[in-house]
Copies of this chain bind each other. A is one copy, B any other.
Amino acid sequence: VPRTGSTIYEVARRAGVSIATVSRVHGGIEAVAPATRDRVRSVIDELGYRPSRSARALAGLRHDATGIVFPDLSGPYYSEVILGYEEEASRAGQSVFILGTHGRPRADEQVLELADRVDGLLVMGETVRDEVVDEIHARGLPVVLLARPRSGNADTVCSENVTSAEALTRHLLGHGHRKFAFLGDHRASSDVGERWRAFADTLQRAGLEPALTPTSGFRERDGYGAARELLNGRAQPDAVVAANDETAIGAFRVAREHALAVPGDIAITGWDDIPLAEHVGPGLTTVRQPIRELGATAARLLLERIRGDRTEPHHLLLPTELVVRGSCGPHPE
């Protein structure tokens, strides 16, 4: 077991004071004579003394750490959220734990374990049951939910789905498309659920019938598999609205294999505006989410709660933006 640096006792001994004084100096507490303060400070610097985190935490203080629970890191979405989160948290002097649940069932226990190493937790997407989240929150640990329905009185931060889904659908209607298919599992996440619902509502208001082709996940291969089912079936859609960009790209691949031109024979749209989106085919029409800002915002909310600046829950909805490229239909210059 690695011995660590010098302890508060060592500093006290060398400075000829008690450990209480060292603690006071280190903690920046006023009531210390300037002379002793300087003396202690120089010993601290000399020894490179840093208080033991474990001891502080045990003495009832903060961990100065927060954790982030996400389903999976593959694909650009979650890593971008984490990037935004880490940047903000680390700027505030907080260390960051990450925990990927990878769809495994033992996650509940791991999350619970993580919960007692941190001062607050960001829980994303479908990773752990509400029950567990509530339990952690009830324990007094601030929790922020990202892209997840509200639960207990935890803060939530989501990105806007309804307005953008309507705008997207209407844009497609404007291109003259009439046979629509939604590619994605509307029960897999609240985001997708909202997108599907707004999509379906908009179509129904236009007197059209929305169709749902569920995917088994959010990766390209999931979109590929579902789109193949769809295009092999009898109902040939002329517009495929995918739940996210990656599944949309899977649909692109199927279209290519079926020798269908995009957008000539079939329109395809995505969601997220990942870096790949502008490069695929004629450019993927999609809805841009402020992914990084989602993470940064969550970090800020969490810090507010940790500092005790606020006790009533906040529910933030970040705006999204329709990004029109080539894949939804012809746009004359």
* Partner-contacting stretch, out of A58-66, A200-208, A318-326: A58-66
Whole-angstrom distance between the Cβ of A67 and the nearest chain B Cβ: 8
A189 on the interface (CB 8 Å rule)?
no
Find chain B residues with CB under 8 A from A34 CB: none
Find chain B residues with CB under 8 A from A307 CB: none
Q: How many residues of A contact B (CB 8 A)?
A: 55
* Partner-contacting stretch, out of A22-30, A95-103, A210-218: A95-103
For A68-81 the 0/1 string (1 means CB < 8 A from B) is 00001110100110
A209 on the interface (CB 8 Å rule)?
no
Whole-angstrom distance between the Cβ of A129 and the nearest chain B Cβ: 8
Contact flag A50-B4 (CB < 8 Å), given A73-B83, A99-B90, A100-B87:
no
A61 to B131 CA separation, bound complex (whole angstroms): 32
Whole-angstrom distance between the Cβ of A100 and the nearest chain B Cβ: 5
A132 on the interface (CB 8 Å rule)?
yes
Q: Quick one: which of B5, B52, B86, B139 contacts A5, CB cutoff 8 A?
A: B139
For A199-242 the 0/1 string (1 means CB < 8 A from B) is 00000000000000000000010000000000000000000000
Find chain B residues with CB under 8 A from A135 CB: 1, 4
Find chain B residues with CB under 8 A from A115 CB: 4
A249 to B275 CA separation, bound complex (whole angstroms): 11
Residues of A within 8 A of B (CB): 1-5, 50, 52-55, 57-58, 60-63, 65, 72-74, 76, 79-80, 82-83, 86-87, 90, 95-100, 102, 108, 110, 112-117, 131-132, 135, 139-141, 220, 249, 275-276, 279-280
Q: Can you report 30 residue pairs joining A to B where beta carbons are below 8 Å apart?
A: A1-B61, A1-B112, A1-B140, A2-B140, A2-B141, A4-B116, A4-B135, A4-B139, A5-B139, A52-B116, A53-B54, A53-B57, A54-B55, A58-B58, A73-B80, A73-B82, A73-B86, A74-B80, A76-B79, A79-B82, A79-B83, A90-B110, A95-B99, A95-B113, A95-B114, A96-B97, A96-B99, A98-B98, A275-B276, A279-B280
